[in-house]
A and B are shown apart, each in its own frame.
Chain A
């Protein structure tokens, strides 16, 4: 019995130490990216190429999802609001839900699933096939050449994707509310225009998407860079990217919302 307890404690301690070690290694990677900040901007073509890979190639899934999310919001919102005789406020409900919450959060979750996994798998495979070692031996820093451009691409892409998500989501909500249900088009847009505040809603949404962009991209890069150089190692790292990014986004969303509402 004591042996079982001791083993359980040892296992717990091992996991805690490993967790702390990984946080430290992630922070070190982040500081290296900062160190190579200027150097990576000397290669704008690399950053543009990565923006295409992470941002542009994620557009389809983001836009299609946004349209469906907007349509569901329109349906659910109308169903509730009509009970209180305020179905014209549907535009406000759709816009605020998207700009404040769903835009940044759902985009970040989709980004982690689409672009984050691609980044992790690519870097993990580059490590497994010694491409990163080869770069080091050619006196070229993999952080400057491979990691930093992907980081900036993720950070730049996320707010743009979130903004597009919100825009297309609003169109989805409009499509259900106005042509299908029959809500007045003027009321839909005018109430939205009157209620959505630039500073409190749009800027806060952009801040959230920026933070999520930093966190999701950093997790994806770290998991790839830290992956054991085997097929199983890369596979596990890819899974960890999705799980850790999703948890981080949802947890951070609560913290950021609390600060924004309190501010």
Chain B
């Protein structure tokens, strides 16, 4: 058994003629919380989809628990996904099911447990995210932060070995953000799982992750522990960590010379 539960090896992926990843290499050691960071549109979420087998790479491979993801049959892929839990950016809760039913969904689908045990498991998971009292509510009655926590309870309902988080802090207030940070760390440690957090929120992420990959322009531009990266003198890392508007990642989308364009007229 490899020390790394997920390994990304020379991965290239693109669509519609645009190459999003150009030979990416990453490893995710068992038991660690690893963040993938980068600007919007840098292909972070796509990486999660490649790990989950929802997309196939153009080149290279992703290995989960020593199995090459894109070479699996449908059954093999579903077997592999039983080891994973994923928190989607906006929760992706089933809107026709209550909070309780949402968390019970994967348990009912994959086990034959009696209803009393399903209830115990669901309440255990909801208690872990602090929402046991909200089990009767419908997803439309939840705030963004609560929905994210219910989705987290659902993602860990079957005690997965890998938990993937897609932008878990997007749109959350500072209190909810702190709650989610603590939950990611505590759930990871109590389940003995490996967490992969895709985000661009530097300060929250640096406070609880073990290792960070920075992705830009389709390649890994920097990696290391949060302390390494805080003290890094690489221009991209410096710009990202300190939130500078201009730098290696330009403020302006590529365009022709503004002065010449103005002189030429308004034929945009």
Q: Which of B17-25, B59-67, B78-86, B249-257 is near enough to bind chain A?
A: B78-86
Indicate if B208 sits at the interface (CB-CB under 8 A): no
Assess the B81–A133 pair: CB atoms within 8 A. Answer: no
Interface range for B: 20 to 34
A80 contacts the other chain (CB 8 A): no
Q: How far is the CB of B111 from chain A (nearest CB, A)?
A: 12
For chain B, what secondary structure do more than half of its interface residues adopt (helix, strand, loop), or is it mixed?
A: mixed
The size bracket of the interface on A is 10 to 19
Q: Is A197 an interface residue (CB 8 A)?
A: no
Question: Are the C-beta atoms of A130 and B90 separated by less than 8 Å?
Answer: yes
Q: How far is the CB of B145 from the nearest CB of chain A, in Å?
A: 17
Asked if B54 and A138 make an inter-chain contact with CB atoms under 8 angstroms apart, the answer reads no
Given A138-B105, A139-B110, A140-B106, the answer on whether A133 and B92 have CB atoms closer than 8 Å is: yes
Q: Does B88 interact with chain A (Cβ within 8 Å)? A: yes
- Asked if residues B81 and A139 are in contact (CB atoms below 8 Å), the reply is yes
Q: Which positions 124-139 of chain A face chain B at CB distance < 8 Å?
A: 129-131, 133-134, 136-139
Q: Determine which of A131, A137, A140, A145 lies in contact with B86 in the assembled complex, contact meaning CB atoms within 8 Å.
A: A137
User: 0/1 per residue, A138-160, Cβ < 8 Å to B?
Assistant: 11110001000000000000000
Give the distance in Å from the alpha carbon of A139 to the alpha carbon of B110 in the complex.
9
Given contacts A129-B95, A131-B95, A137 and B90 within 8 Å (CB-CB)? no
Q: A139-B78, A139-B81, A140-B106 are in contact. Are A133 and B95 (CB under 8 A)?
A: no
0/1 string, B143-178, CB within 8 A of A gives 1: 000000001001000000000000000000000000
Q: Which 7 A-B pairs have the closest CB atoms?
A: A134-B92, A130-B92, A139-B81, A139-B78, A137-B86, A138-B106, A130-B88
Given contacts A129-B92, A136-B54, A136-B81, 7 further A-B contacts (CB under 8 A): A129-B90, A131-B94, A133-B54, A134-B86, A137-B84, A137-B85, A140-B109
